[in-house]
Structure 1
């Protein structure tokens, strides 16, 4: 897979982080960028774990992304080389949690991370107390409504 240059962040590893985040979360890089938290999350991780550990994770991720020729190979490689690897498993799980819930080791990264968690998109909901669904939204049936 090709890792494209994303935005104007000059850090090579940022592009790898975004590409592996796309594969781990199932959301496109554009969707992840639309949270407005991509650079914040990247910097947060850099401040939370040893840089060498994070770079090792990103190097493994880059190899997985570069060597996969199709989505099935990518899925299998992520499973075997990242999720089943004790050296990368915890970071991968933390990255997934970060994007979906906005938390790192149980704490919210910032005020926006709760509001922009991917979990709300998956649930077709809004974060209670943070983003309201909009005027007269109660008139629209939920997406998966059987009634």
Structure 2
């Protein structure tokens, strides 16, 4: 079932979304459409966004805010927090796209793709 029957078949929500007029905001209520729009805005594809484990939480965060614009959505995905708010959890912060972009680990987190050093032979 389409989210809105009055949308043209070829519209692109990421390009035509007018947050000031609050047009097509109801389309973001659908998780798949939300992820498609976020993929367009962030430069990460939908599977990459899903792999963060934050899709549902970020979707709920977005729906909880009345004003939704592209900048706020990008901020949410990259930083793990809605603009002007603290991250909802350490996990949200740690899964921010900023760390993937720079191929770095968030502060106080294990570096990506590294194992803990083997210390079994130390001190003997």
Q: TM-score range by the shorter chain?
A: 0.5 to 0.7
User: Do the aligned partners of 1:102 and 1:116 also contact (CA within 8 Å) in 2?
Assistant: yes
Number of residue pairs matched by the alignment: 91
Residue 107 (structure 2) aligns with: 128
The unaligned stretches of length 5 or more in structure 1 are 4-10, 55-90, 138-147
- Cα distance per residue 1:84-136 (max 9 Å; x no partner): xxxxxxx1101001111111123112221111011111111111202334237
1:66-145 matches, cutoff 5 A: 91-106=69-84, 107-133=86-112, 134-135=114-115
Looking at structure 1, the residues matched to 54 and 40 of structure 2 have their Cα atoms a distance apart, in angstroms, of: 17
* TM-score, normalisation: structure 2: 0.63
* TM-score, normalisation: structure 1: 0.54
User: Do the aligned partners of 2:77 and 2:97 also contact (CA within 8 Å) in 1?
Assistant: yes
Looking at structure 1, the residues matched to 116 and 29 of structure 2 have their Cα atoms a distance apart, in angstroms, of: 45
Question: Which of 1 and 2 has greater Rg?
Answer: 2
